[in-house]
Homo-oligomer: A and B are copies of this chain.
Amino acid sequence: MNPFQQAREAAAAARARYRDGLVSPTAGHAPGLTQCNMICLPRDWAYDFLLFAQRNPQACPVLDVTEPGEFSTFLAADADLRTDLPLYRVWRDGELAAEVSDVRELWAEHDDLVTFLIGCSFTFENDLLEAGIDVRHISEGCNVPMYRSNRACRPAGRLQGNMVVSMRPVPAERVADAARITARYPGVHGAPVHVGEPALLGIADIAQPDFGDAVSIKPGEIPVFWACGVTPQSVVMASKVPFAISHAPGHMFITDVPDSQYHV
């Protein structure tokens, strides 16, 4: 079995564990295979969202869109999008209504859901690790810290809201390397949107992320911020979308697509 086949088996095994009920952040799992953010909206909202994504490609790089009511994707042929993520969030009128590990019943109630699978910055973390740049939430075994920023996205139709960002601390002398490496993954958020000075992004306390877990920032490290695929959840809240299902932050959909697919 070659390494790619091994990775695909690891991905299928991870999806099977989540299908069976395991709840766990996915960073570092099935390394080498792309992970996705997910947002499902009624068909009536699909154009607004696809346009929003086009207008905000750093935050919302779309990797696949399903037909209304479908729950399969060409990103992983045997996967079921209703069960194969470790944790989902259900949104009603822009408010978090529930966190559940299976959304088959909800899908049955809303038969025209369109699912958008959106690139995730986990995709380039393997390259950072290989370049000798520590990825703190992996080495500390927790979820990546994410923050609501003060940066407004370009609105589209009924959708508007601010960008959510993920943060990784990087030694000052490696910031340029981190920017260079991640820039070549434009399909999975690409280059950082901000380096240093959290206050300029409207982040009052870097130790209090809005999503995920805080990580330690060591002396000589600079907080580096990337656009984050949790942005659609922030937009669902800000725009009071009547119904949506998303992944829970950090609990991604693991695909069968190698990270290298998104490397330019």
Distance of A50 Cα from B114 Cα, bound (Å)? 14
Distance of A130 Cα from B187 Cα, bound (Å)? 27
Q: Which residues, 170 to 225 on A, are CB-close (under 8 Å) to B?
A: 183-184, 186-187, 190
Q: Indicate whether A128 reaches chain B with its CB closer than 8 angstroms.
A: no
Say yes or no: A54 contacts B47, CB within 8 Å: no
Q: Indicate whether A16 reaches chain B with its CB closer than 8 angstroms.
A: no
* CB closest residue in chain B, given A53: B54
Distance of A62 Cα from B55 Cα, bound (Å)? 9
Q: Indicate whether A46 reaches chain B with its CB closer than 8 angstroms.
A: yes
Q: List chain B residues, Cβ under 8 A from A55.
A: 65
Count of identical protomers in the assembly: 2
Q: A186's contact among B46, B50, B54, B264, by CB below 8 Å, is which?
A: B264
Distance of A62 Cα from B156 Cα, bound (Å)? 15
Q: Indicate whether A23 reaches chain B with its CB closer than 8 angstroms.
A: no
Q: List chain B residues, Cβ under 8 A from A190.
A: 264
Q: A50's contact among B47, B184, B187, by CB below 8 Å, is which?
A: B47
* CB closest residue in chain B, given A157: B67
Closest Cβ of chain B to A262, distance in Å, is 10
> Could you give 15 example pairs across A and B, Cβ below 8 Å?
A46-B47, A47-B47, A47-B50, A50-B54, A51-B65, A54-B62, A54-B65, A55-B65, A184-B184, A184-B264, A186-B186, A186-B187, A186-B264, A190-B264, A264-B264
Beyond contacts A47-B50, A50-B54, A190-B264: 4 other A-B pairs, Cβ-Cβ < 8 A, are A54-B62, A183-B264, A184-B184, A186-B187
